[in-house]
Amino acid sequence: MAEEIRNTVILGSGCAGLTAAIYAARANLKPLVLEGHEPGGQLSLTTLVENFPGFPEGIQGPELIENMKQQAMRFGADIESKHLVSADFTERPFTLNFGKENIKARTLIIASGASARWLGLPSEQALIGYGVSSCATCDGFFFSGKEVAVIGGGDSAMEEALFLTRFASKVTIVHRSQNFRASKIMLDRARHHDKISFLTDTIVEEVYDVNKKEVTGLKVRNVKNGHFRDFPTSAMFLGIGHIPNAKMFHGQLDADKDGYLITRDYVLTRVPGVYACGDVQDRRYRQAVTAAGTGCMAAMEAEKFLEEQGR
């Protein structure tokens, strides 16, 4: 039986992937959207989204994703749950391997996102969206006038902490060491800010309080003397970076030192017909609205490419 060849395959079902799907479907490309290991992307872990245009009262993250999904399907997008194992760009159409099956694609839009680094604590995972966050820009506003904690020692942590000073009454940076990976300028900015304090040689062992469905404090341990203590806080922000979901393209597409796909002219990769959009290539903004914007760009580029190929 001959393998089916799809005009456009979209990897990822977050804001970037679903926006690409809406545009590709409306262009009658009949795109196939593959959800991957985090259906809905980062927004599926978010509660109230207040900075996406068009929703003056805000909207729940999962609801926004579901709306986009229904919109894409209305115009003819197919959405399936599959995990990409590898891709072969050496021949056209491209071959995408999903373990037990292959899918052929004339164009590929990579919108596989970047996964936030978490501490891996059960209490932390249970409180994501209830005071545990990996995005100060998204959630800082909800903690106006409150004391919050930021975990990490690199530039990401300093950026999160400095941003949070706009809202929080106090920001404590919790780091496992006295040595910081942050650049000197970022570390100095944080150290000289009157709202920021540091808790070093300390790791988080538990987040309180899962039963109340809100963050009330942290159980922390001093790594030098082993002593435990409770640290009151209203929120815990993770500032330990993100991991772009792009390992399956290693050696075939250009990536930076942290694994983010490198694009030119917004969404073009070095392989004609392969586009990258959203957090898998955006380490700077990482917002739902910017991801949607690049998803639109990728779909329009795919449409243009197929037209030029006579498809």
As annotated, the active-site residues are 135, 138-139
Cα–Cα distance between 49 and 293 in angstroms, integer? Answer: 17
Give the three-state DSSP class for 49: strand
Instruction: Identify the residue whose tokens are 């790594």.
Output: 223
Exposure string over 118-155, b if 16+ CB within 10 A, otherwise e: ebebebbeebbbbbbbbbbebbbebbeebbbbbbbbbb
Give the three-state DSSP class for 281: coil
Cα–Cα distance between 32 and 103 in angstroms, integer? Answer: 10
Cα–Cα distance between 201 and 192 in angstroms, integer? Answer: 20
Residue 273 near residue 254, CB atoms below 8 Å? no
- The beta strand positions in 147-292, using DSSP E, are 147-151, 170-174, 196-199, 202-208, 217-222, 228-232, 236-238, 242-244, 274-276
Closest residue by Cα to residue 148 from 183, 224, 199, 182 = 199
Contacts of 154 (CB under 8 A, 6+ apart): 180, 181, 182, 239, 240, 241
Helices 155-164, 184-191: crossing angle, 10 deg rounding: 30
Contacts of 180 (CB under 8 A, 6+ apart): 153, 154, 187
Cα–Cα distance between 218 and 1 in angstroms, integer? Answer: 58
